[in-house]
Structures are given as structure tokens and as C-alpha cells.
Structure 1
Amino acid sequence: MKRMIPLVSALALMAGAAAAADIKVGVSPGEHAEIMEEVAKIAEPMGLNIDVVEFSDYVVPNQALADGDIEANSFQHEPYLDNQIRDRGFALVPIATTITTPMGVYSDKITAMDDFPEGGSMGIPNDPTNGGRALLVLQQLGLIKLAEGTGLVPTVLDVVENPRDMRFRELDAAQLPRSLADLDAALINTNYAIASGLNPKEDSIAMESADNPYVNIIVVREGDEGQDWVQPLIDAYHSPEIKAFIEEKYDGTVLTSW
């Protein structure tokens, strides 16, 4: 019987080493959800089971992560995370970069920015970082000018030149696609555009430059960076299979960071 003990112990250790880890990853609708579903398929043979949890807005995923309801999230860029940490005190950290999704201008009423009417309504996200990002896109397009020194988070109060007397409508980012009928145009994040059936390449009338600081990230709670499931999650996301999936499915409207 004593000879069996080392064998049984070894088998137990092997079983423990091979035991699958189960994690929940929060995402927003659109490309973040679609990509993470593919990541889950790649991660499973690595011993990592990913339950993809979809949230309908940008507010809840960080709160859910901070509360321990999920182990990671993948929906935001670093300027947004920095703002959330500053405003809400979250102890969250990025562990990897993922994709860049240039913001687009969409409209049910015009087909080019040159046609934007004087005094027309422009929808922008109502959160500070994405609202600021939208204003920076409008400045990039030559439609407004912002005060110097506002960085990545300008507000409508920082607009110093507005030759078309553009009227800004600040709405929840997820509501902007549904509000196009009531607006002359809107700046919409790519994930919400895709989730609403819009094709960024075909349906946008203008796009943000791909050279922007808004690369998206995978985020975990501070202190979880060394968890055993972290590296398999990163490896699965950064795999050649996921890069090929993104390039084929999104045709240049979603860009990989690796």
C-alpha cells in the first residue's frame, strides 16, 4: 500500500495542474463581445473557460469588476479607465492591449460632413472621455476648434470656434445609434455602431484617424495581475487566430494592437 502513495500523490498533483480555470469577462456589445467569444474558443484547450458577460453600457463593467462579480473586462480604452479610477476610486489595472476602434460620424440625413447644416444637432457621448474624444474628432475634421490645453478630455465649454453653430446633444453612448432620426449626425463608438447594425466602413460619413491614443485594454482588479489565468487569457487574445478573425470580420474598421 505504501508504494501506492507516491503514485496517487503524483496523479493528484497532475490533476490539480490540469484543472481548468473558470473566469467571467465583462464586455460591451459589438466587436468586444464578438471577439471575446472567439477568444473563449482559443482559451478552452489551454485550460481556461471564459464566460463572456455582456453589459449594455460603459458604467457597469468596471463596477462589476471592482465588486468581484467578474474577473476581468474588455471594453474600454486607457483614458476612460484613468477617468473612472480618478472619479470612482476603482483599484483596477490594465494587463494587455487589445484593439483600436476609430470613432465614426453617422447620419440618417446627410451623406457628407460638408452637408452638415448651420445650427444642426450633433450627438456626442455624455461620458467625459468619449465625449472629449468626439470633440477631438470634430476638431480633426475641421468643424470646430477647441481651447488649447484641454488634453484628451475637452468639454463643449472648451469649443472656441464653431462656424456652423453646431448644437451638441450629449447622450448615453449606447443610445446614439437609436437617436440618429432625431439628430443631424452623431459621433458613435464602433462597438455600439456594430451592435446596432451599422457598418463603420460603409455607413459612416467620416472616421477618426487611426493614429489615436484610444487603444483598448483588458482590465483586472489590482492584485490579480499574477493570477494563473491571466497569461492564458492574454495569449488567447493575442493569438494569430484572433488577429485573422478581426482582420477578416471587420475589414479594417477594427485594428489589432499586437
Structure 2
Amino acid sequence: MVRRSHRSKPGLDLISQLPEDLKHKILERLDTRSAAKTALVSRQWKDVWLRHGQLAFDWHDCHGEDDFVSVVKTITNVLLLRTGPVKRFSFSIYREFDTPEQSDLDVWCLFLSRNGIEQLYLGILPHPDSENLTIPSCIFSCQTIKRLYVEAVDFCGPVCAPHGSILSGVTSIIFTAVEFKAKASGIRGVNIPNLEELILHACRRIDNFVFSAPKLKSLTVVYTFSRIELKWFELHLLRIKTLCLTIDSILVRTLHFIC
């Protein structure tokens, strides 16, 4: 009995006493639900999990209202229990049933904006009869975000932008299936000071997204669902190095002036 105890204890120590950076690398290779279960292994693993700053919630297998309610609660609890910064956060859901409430998304993003978020991915495809959620206003004033990827979450812009700037730390933005909604003192004429790359894919009402980006190097606009006026491009043509457009019936009336 003594020998068995002596042999099993080192095995447990090998798992629990792994270097912290190695534990984080292991967690990065697991989906979030599996990573959360490591907290049951030992106190050391629990501490690492609560400090782990890369969270991905890609939910495609929920069935029924009760199941989805539990998903929302799980995400909220996981975030609020963090004891360290969350540098990367991904949430995507493509379902025919429920999607998060706007208030849920607001709570998540407010927490992230105050806890060091650097890479944010939001993909929330609603039911065809439902309206898209909107990007929470706290994201526009967050100074730590560097990469922003948004799919099917609409852009209303902030009510006011301090010093006329939004997303001050962002260098790369990808918007897919986003509608830019005009709003008083909102998204017209704002400055995105460090933006270097902007990709707009299948977006709507792009003319409403009037901004300046002094460091912009690459601009991609593809499969837009509305006509874009020449003056929208004129703001950026002199400084960008790469321009990618789709030439279709929607854009041709504008683009023939550029050629």
C-alpha cells in the first residue's frame, strides 16, 4: 500500500506542477468548455484557468431555449470569474433560434474593455425575422483593442467620440455583413488614428461610415449591398498602398470615375 501511494503521488505532481506557460499553451489548444474542466484537476490548474486570457465560445450545437440560456450564463460566469486580463475573446453563434440579448453582449464587452482585450471576434447571425445586435458603445472607447472582427453585428457608432477618435488602439478591422447605421453625433467624421487595415465584406450602407485613418495602408471593399459614392474613397486613396474592390453592377457607376 505504501509503494502504491509513493508511485501515484509523483504522477499527480507531474501534472499539477507543470510550468505555468506550458499549462497556458495546453489550454490554448482546447476548446473553452474542455479548458474549463481542467480546473477540476487541481488547485494549480484552477488558478491557471482563471488567469487564462484566451477564450473562444463558438456555439453551434445548442438545442432548445433552456440550453441556450445556460450558454449565456456560462459565458457571463466565465468572464466574471477571471483573475487576469482577457487578451483574446471570440464568440460566434449561427442558429435558427435564440441569440444573446443586447444586454448580454453589453455586459460581456464592458468587462472585456476593462480587462485588457486586444483581439475581439463577434459573430452573431440572428434569425431572419430578428434584427441584428449592435456593437456595444464601450468598444469604441476601449484603448487596448488591436484587432477587431465583427460579423452580423451592426455598427451604430458612439453617441460621442472623445477628441473625435474611436478605437484608438486598433490596427486591423474586418467587418462582415455589418450595416452602418447613421446616428446623430455618431459614426460620421470620426478618427481611427492607428488603423492600418480595413476589410468590408458584404456590408450595407457603407457611405454612413465616414472616418479618417491617417495610417491606413490597405482597404478592401467586396460584395457590398449598396452603392458607394466616389467621395467615400477619395478620403483614403492618397494614403493607402493596397486597394481591393469587386467590380459589379453596384459599384461600376462609381468606379468608372476612378479608372
**Higher relative contact order, structure no. (Cα contacts within 8 Å, ≥ 6 residues apart):** 1
Task: Name the TM-score, length of structure 2 as normaliser.
Answer: 0.24
